Structure 1
Amino acid sequence: MTNRYFIFGAGYSGRAFGRLAAGEAQIDGTSRSEDKFDRLLKAGIEPYAFDGKTVADAVRLALTMTTHLVISAAPTEAGDPVLAVAREALLAETPRLRWVGYLSTVGVYGDHGGAWVDETSECRPVSRRSTLRVAAERDWIGFGHERGVPLAVLRLSGIYGPGRNAFVNLEKGTARRLVKPGQVFNRIHVADIAGALKHLSRSATGGIFNITDDEPAPPQDVIAYAAKRMGIEPPPEIPFETAQISPMARSFYGENKRVSNLAVKAAGYRFAFPNYHAALDAMWAADDWRGEGEADAASPMSA
C-alpha cells in the first residue's frame, strides 16, 4: 500500500516534512489561507483548505485514502481545532489509517529549575498555551486508543532552520543577547522534526517523544556563536530584568529545564543536527540560512 500523509496545519515544520518525504509518499496538507497554497505546492504538498470550522468534502475524500495523519495545529480555548470538527470523520472515514503523529511542545513540562526532564517527568505547565497543549495531548492519545492505531506525541523544543535562526535575526538587527543567570533552552532544527516524523511514522511507533537537541544552552551564547560565524560583533548583553520584551517572550524565560532526547534515540532516530553549533555551521556553509519565505510566525526561542 502506498503511504499517503495528511497534515493538518502544514506550516514551517509540515513543509519541511513535505520536502523530505514527497518523493516517497503522497503528502496532503492544509492551510487556513489559499494564499499559502503555492508554498505548500513548492514543498511537495497537495494543498487543502481547513478553517477549523468545517471539514470540506475534498478533505473528507483525502482522509479516506490517508495512511498517516500528522497534526500540527495549536489548540484554542475551545480545544483542539481538528478534533473539534473532524473527530467523527477521523474515526469513521479513515479505513487505511495506520499511524497518527501529534506535534506538541516541551512547554508542557513547565519550569523544573534547570533540571533534566524526560518523557516520564511531571507536566506542570506555566503558560495557558502549554496548559491547552497538555489537554490536547490527552485528547489525541484518547483518539488513538479509540481508533486503534499507534499515536506518537512529538514534544518539540524551540524550532529553527532556514529563514528562522540567529543569522536572520542578526541580519535584520533584531537579535538581542538577553542574559538571565542559569537560564538554558533546548532547540530543534526543523530538519530533525521532519526526520523524526518520517522515522516514527515509517515504523508506526507510538508513544511520547521529546524531539530536541543534545545541548541545552543559554540563548545569548547562540547569538554570539552566530555572530562569530558571520564575522561581526554580537549585540551587547542585556540583563533580563531590565529588558523590554513581549509578555510571550518573558513567559518563555519563566521556564528553565534541560530536555532529554534519549527516548527517540532509543527508538532508532539519529539527529542530523545534535546541537546548534552543527546546525549553524551547516546553514552557513550551505548559504541556505535565509530560506525562501519559510519563516511564518517564529517562536521567541527560535534563535
Structure 2
Amino acid sequence: MSAKPSATALLAKRPRLLIVGCGDIGLRVLRLLRGRWRIAALSSNPQRVDELRAAGATPLLGDLDRPETLARLAGWADAVLHLAPPQAEGDEDRRSLALLRALARKSPPRRLVYASTTGVYGDCGGARFDETRPVAPTTARARRRVDAERRLRWFGAAFGCSVTILRVPGIYAADRPGGHPRERLAAGKPVLRREDDVYTNHIHAEDLARACVLALSRGRPQRAVHVCDDSELLMGDYFDLAADLCGLPRPPRVGRAEAAALMTPLQLSFLSESRRLANSRLKTELRLRLRYPQPALGLLA
C-alpha cells in the first residue's frame, strides 16, 4: 500500500500564479483561489509583505519601474495575472515592457491575463459595440493601455502564451476604497445635465475578480473581453440611482461649460467619452454569471 503524498508534495503540484499589482482586485482573487493555487504577489512596498502573506500569497519584492529588481520572476509562474497600471506619463507602458522582459528570460508562463481599460476605444458617441471595434484612444492614459495590449499580444504569439485582455470600465463596491458614489454625493459634486450626458459602463469588484479567475482557465488566446455588467446608464442616472439608494440628495446638474469650471481635467476627460459595451464574450466564453448584473443590486451589496 503506497504512502499518502505529503502536504508539501501536494502543494508542489498546484499550478503557480503570479499576481502583478495585487491591490483590491488582486486580494479578492486571492480569496477566491486560496488553497487551489500556489500564489506569489509582486509588490514594491515592503510594508505590504505581512498583508499579502496573511491573504495567502508569497510576497515578492520588486518594482516594475526598476527592471533590475524583477529577476526572480523568470521561470516561476504557470500563469500571470497582470493588474498593474502603467506609469503616469508617456504613450508607452514601460512597466508592462519590464514585466514581459523578465518573464521571457526563462520558461515563460502558459497563460497571462491582463486588466486593461475600456478607455482604449475613446469616444464612441454612445454607440453600443463588442470587442471587434477598433481601438481609438484619445488620451495618453488610454494610449499607454493600447501599447500594453499590443506588447502582450506580441508576447503571447512569440512565446506560445495564451493572453486574455480584460477591458474593464468603472469598478465599484461598497468595500472598495473610493469605490462607492456616497462620498461624491455627500460632497454635492455635480453631474452633467441630460442633454450633455454620456453613457458609462460599470462592473462590481467581486464580478471582476471572478472574471479574472475564469479567464485564467477559460480565456481564449490573444482575445479581448469586455468585463462589464448589463446596465446602460447615463452617468447622471447612475449617480441619481446611487443617491436614491443611499437616501441622499440627487447631485446638481450642470452644462458642459459650467462643468469645465468646476471639475479637474481628469474628471472632464471621463465626461468626453460615451459608449455602451456588449458583454456576450464574458458570458459565453468565460461563462461568468454576473452576481451583480445591475448597479441597483451592486450598490446595495
Q: Normalising TM by the smaller chain, what interval?
A: 0.7 to 0.9
TM-score (norm 2): 0.84
The answer as to whether partners of 2:185 and 2:248 remain within 8 angstroms in 1 is: no
Once the two structures are superposed, residues 90-115 of structure 1 have per-residue CA deviations (whole angstroms, 9 ceiling, x without a partner) of: 123236x2210111100011111100
8 A Cα contact 2:198 2:272, kept in partner: no
Query: 1:75-102: per-residue Cα shift (whole Å, max 9, x none)?
Result: 342733344334343123236x221011
**Separation in 2, partners of 1:147, 1:239:** 50
Larger RCO (CA under 8 A, 6+ residues apart): 1
Deviations 1:119-146 (A, max 9, x none): 1002111111111211110111000111
Counterpart position of 2:193: 179
2:167–2:224 contact (8 Å) kept in structure 1: yes
Greater mean deviation of Cα atoms: 257-266 or 159-168 = 159-168
Paired AA for residue 178 in structure 1: L
Q: Which residue identity lines up with residue 30 of structure 1 in the other structure? A: L
Task: State the Cα deviation string for residues 33-77 of structure 1 (Å, max 9, x = none).
Answer: 223334434443332222221343xx5445433111011222342
Change (3 A) 1:46 1:169: farther
Alignment partner, residue 220 of structure 1: 236
Structure 1 residues 43 and 245: CA distance shift in structure 2, 3 A: farther
CA–CA distance in structure 2, aligned partners of residues 55 and 221 of structure 1: 47
**2:269 aligned partner:** 251
Computing the radius of gyration from Cα coordinates, the structure with the larger value is: 2
Question: C-alpha displacement at 1:186, in angstroms?
Answer: 0.3
Report the counterpart of residue 242 of structure 1 in structure 2: 258
C-alpha deviation, 1:204, in angstroms: 5.1
Conservation of the 8 A alpha-carbon contact between 1:55 and 1:86: no
Distance, in Å, in 2 between the alignment partners of 1:16 and 1:170 is: 26
Q: Give the stretch that moved more between structures: 208-217 or 224-233.
A: 224-233
Q: Take 1:38 and 1:148, find their aligned partners in 2: how far apart are those partners?
A: 35
The whole-number CA distance in structure 1 between the counterparts of 2:55 and 2:188 is 28
- Number of matched pairs: 278
Picking from 103, 108, 116, the partner of 1:90 is 103
- Indicate yes or no: 2:290 matched with 1:271: yes
Question: Mind listing any 5+ residue stretches in structure 2 that lack a counterpart?
Answer: 1-12
| Matched residue type, 2:103 | L
CA shift at 1:216, angstroms?
2.2
| Percent of aligned pairs sharing the same letter | 28
Q: Alpha carbons of 1:204 and 1:107: their partners in 2 closer, same or farther (altered >3 Å)?
A: closer
Partner of 2:22: 10
Aligned to 1:102: 114
- Please say if residues 120 and 135 of structure 2, whose CA atoms lie closer than 8 Å, have aligned partners that are also in contact: yes
User: Counterparts of 2:204 and 2:274 in 1: how far apart (Å)?
Assistant: 20
Tell me, yes or no, if the aligned pair for 1:126 and 1:255 is still in contact at 8 Å: no
Backbone CA RMSD of aligned residues: 2.2
Note if contact 2:128-2:276 (Cα within 8 Å) is conserved in structure 1.
Answer: yes
Deviation at 1:228, TM superposition (A): 2.0
Q: Please, which of 58, 67, 92 is the counterpart of residue 79 of structure 1?
A: 92
1:4 Cα deviation after fit: 1.6
Alignment match, 1:289: none
Give me the whole-angstrom Cα distance separating, in 1, the residues matched to 2:122 and 2:24: 24
